[in-house]
Amino acid sequence: MVDCIRFAARGEGSECRAKTLDARQRRELALAGLAGTHSITDLARQHQVSRRFVSRQVGRAAQALDDVFVPAATASEKVLGWVAITPSWLRQFTLAMILCGHSSYRGVQEVADDLLGVSLSLGTIHNVVRQAAATARELNAQVDLANIHVGAHDEIFQHGCPVLAGVDVASTYCYLLSLETQRDAETWGFRLLELQDQGLTPRATIADGGRGLRAGQALAWPDVPCRGDVFHALREVGQVVTYLENRAWGAWTALEQQERRMQRAKRHGRGRCESQRLAAARVAATQAVRLADDVALLSQWLREDVLAVAGPTHATRQELFDWILAELESRQTACPHRLQPLVRLLRNQRDELLAFAVELDHSLAAVAAEFQLAPDVVRALLAVLEPATPQQWQAEAALRSRLGRRFPALRAAVADVACHVVRASSVIENLNSRLRQYFFLRRHLGPEYLELLQFFLNHRRFLRSEHPERTGRSPCELLTGTPHAHWLELLGYERSAQG
């Protein structure tokens, strides 16, 4: 096998006879040496080459014969192919280990030494990454972001420094990944204005309640609304419900303990001493259970009726939201340190959390006009898209009977509307979880590394996905609608084929 790790072959001189011999002549020279019909000296004199050159050709031929006539390998030892380990291949190997294998620099060193027998210095690995990052920066700047309609924004922290992130909800294309020293409005606004040069003009964004994030967008894009993230709001509500349930269980456990103390006191004739404590424990347990049940029920209504995709109109959702908020506010004195912050959060984010319902109303109205139906019929079909109860099955059957042949097409149109409703920034949370797998490998992040990481995440094709249209395609291909080469080829490498 040719040892391709050597970067330069030793020459024989520009006028050396050996350099003029083609492959056929070298093969005949090697076969004559193997046959032993002529000595090495005679062959060298006959072909006007050095004896060292003749010996080298004979050795190569002997090695090739040994490789061909080795004993038959077992199934587990079968050679699947050969790869030439060239300097370019080593650079590709380094990038693949870091980006695909989530390896550290020293991990690349160890694998290269253990499996390939190649020594790579940290400086060499760093230079490979730096060179690839320079190319990635240029490629990132060439992508047209005009097709992004709804973006998701968030912040992820690494060693106390924020990393500003932005992702297209539809294609999961990451258009912002910037390491900053702070996350104030000016920083966010400056980064968003930079993205306008690439054509980024979304009709809306979605984010949590970060003040700097929202203030920065208001400065850079005053006409672009920033919707509230339903996931974070419901998580806050769920945490309060869990706390109240645990507190109710604790109060009930304390009541049972007090009842046992009362029984022991009665046996010793001291029941009056424990009666007042028992009465107070009963009142506390009853109030704690009632509060936990009430808040849990209000949380269920908020999640399943107000903030769900299948629900009433935007105006009705506002009324229900205000009523739930009023009910929570009337109970906040029972647990002020938990309910007061929750009430304040929901009150401040009401319009942002319900912003998705405005667009949903417009989309359903458009479908109703297309099929010449009343909007209530289309909304009723939205509520039974995924039947889970006998009542829903009955409602779907009634709609199917009422609509007749129009039902399949209408159901497909309503399902398409439901799929494009954006209520939460789940896509940015998914990105953050993937970024963590890279961030934990290094304490300090550099802008070059983030630019390369952004390029890789955008141009690496999905191996699998819950959405069939994404499998085998990269976020960049989903965004632009244009296929591109492998991400290593985009960085200027020629992928080697197995021999």
Q: Of the residues 319, 353, 387, which one is the last residue of a structural domain?
A: 353
Would 339 be classed as within a structural domain? yes
Quick one: pLDDT at residue 251?
Answer: 92
Last residue of a domain, one of 353, 385, 402: 353
The verdict on 312 and 234 lying in the same domain is: yes
Looking at residues 183-202, what average pLDDT do you find? 92
Judgement on whether residues 339 and 294 belong to the same structural domain of the protein = yes
pLDDT above 90: residue 327: yes
Mean residue pLDDT across the chain: 87
Same domain, 305 and 415: no
Cβ atoms of 498 and 81 within 8 Å: the answer is yes
The pLDDT, as a whole number, for residue 24 is: 83
Q: Are 296 and 268 part of one and the same domain?
A: yes
60 domain-assigned: yes
Q: Is residue 214 part of a domain?
A: no
- In terms of domains, do 370 and 294 share one? no
Q: Is residue 224 part of a domain?
A: no
Q: What is the mean predicted confidence (pLDDT) over 126-131? A: 92
Are 338 and 367 found together in one domain? no
Window from 55-64, 136-145, 148-157, 467-476 with minimum mean pLDDT: 55-64
Question: Which pLDDT belongs to residue 18?
Answer: 78
| Residue at 116 is within a domain | no
- Same domain for 255 and 330, yes or no, is yes
Residues 290 and 396 grouped into a single domain: no
Number of Cβ within 10 Å of residue 306's Cβ equals 23
Asked if residue 365 and residue 343 are part of one domain, the reply reads: no
- Domain boundary pick from 31, 51, 77: 77
Confidence of residue 152 (pLDDT cuts 50, 70, 90): very high
What crossing angle do the helices spanning 336-348 and 314-330 adopt, rounded to 10°?
160
Structural domain contains residue 449: no
In a shared domain, residues 236 and 317: yes
Residue 19 has pLDDT above 60, yes or no: yes
Instruction: Give the range of the structural domain holding residue 49, as residue numbers without chain letter.
Output: 17-77
Q: In what order do the strands lie in the sheet with 226-228?
A: 174-179, 161-168, 150-158, 204-207, 226-228
Q: How many residues would you count in the chain?
A: 499
Is 57 among the domain residues?
Answer: yes
Nearest CA to 156 out of 419, 420, 437 is that of 437
| 197-225: pLDDT as tens digits | 899 999 999 998 888 999 999 999 999 99
Instruction: Provide the number of structural domains found in the chain.
Output: 3
Residues 301 and 414 in one domain: no
Residue at 142 is within a domain: no
Angle at Cα 437 formed by Cα 434 and Cα 440, nearest 5°? 140
Among 32-41, 327-336, 369-378, 412-421, the range scoring the smallest mean pLDDT is: 32-41
303 lies in the same domain as 332: yes
- Positive or negative torsion for Cα 386, 392, 393, 395: negative
Which among 243, 227, 225, 228 has a CA at the least distance from the CA of 346?
228
**In terms of C-beta density within 10 A (0-12 exposed, 13-18 middle, 19 or more buried), how is residue 94 classed?**
buried
The predicted-structure confidence for 329-387, as pLDDT tens digits, reads as follows 999 999 999 999 999 999 999 999 999 999 999 999 999 999 999 989 999 899 888 77
